[in-house]
Amino acid sequence: MTQDLQFEPTMVREAKTARELYEAVKANPARARFGFGERLAVVNIDFQQAYTRPDLFPKSAYVTDPDQIAHVNRISALARAKGMPVIWTRVAYKADGGDAGVWGTRTDTPDSLQNIKFDSERHAFDLRVQIDAAVDLVFTKRMASAFFESPLASYLVWKKVDTVVITGGSTSGCVRATGVESLMRGYRTIVPEECVADKHESYHYANLTDLQLKYADVVEVAEVEAWLEGRPDAPG
């Protein structure tokens, strides 16, 4: 016979903010890291105007660290100088939005996901990002994870990458989805805190906490820079 077991809820409830919880996790020196491997790729997610230009698109864009793009440009340039791949993604959909699938059915406003059209102002990369089109991999994705139905997985295998550094937005959406899938595919996964952004502090820090606890090393961008600076330059 099976016993009729019943337990009281064990979920922790406390008055700390999401940021306070994140800072407590971050300050724990005993937490083990995945660490860097031998060769990384920088995956820069959705630095397009729909999400980076609150002056143009205040309903969909967000800024967390004002220097985010400068940090991303710097680690991307360092990775290139070391012969390591840099990837840029953005989001857009065909004219009727049908390739957004069920994800595009909740709202239908000019700022809605499925209404980001190819070659539109929303689809355009922010002019501040420094993309080397001759070297970097650049593609348009349709779902949250940068791996989903994209060339990213095969590209990382070809480039012999073992570590994925993820930047961009949103922390609670595409960054988190890409981070989870990166770990599931066997990559050491790094999220530089200053290089990711979200609409609301609570979502941002709650997801940084979850990434740090389970799926990634959330570090300061200076740590990524220092690791790259310590690698030999690419030949030629």
Which residues belong to the active site? Answer: 174
CA 89 remoteness from chain centre:
10
3-state DSSP helix/strand/coil % of the chain, to nearest 5: 35, 15, 50
- Contact predicate 155/87, CB 8 Å: yes
Half-sphere exposure of 146 (CA within 13 A, CB side): 34
Give just the sign of the alpha carbon dihedral 36, 39, 41, 42: positive
- Contact predicate 88/161, CB 8 Å: no
- Contact predicate 164/137, CB 8 Å: no
User: What is the Cα–Cα distance from 196 to 178, expressed in whole angstroms?
Assistant: 12
From the list 195, 188, 189, the residue with the least C-alpha distance to 225 is 195
Pairing of strands 163-169, 137-141: unpaired
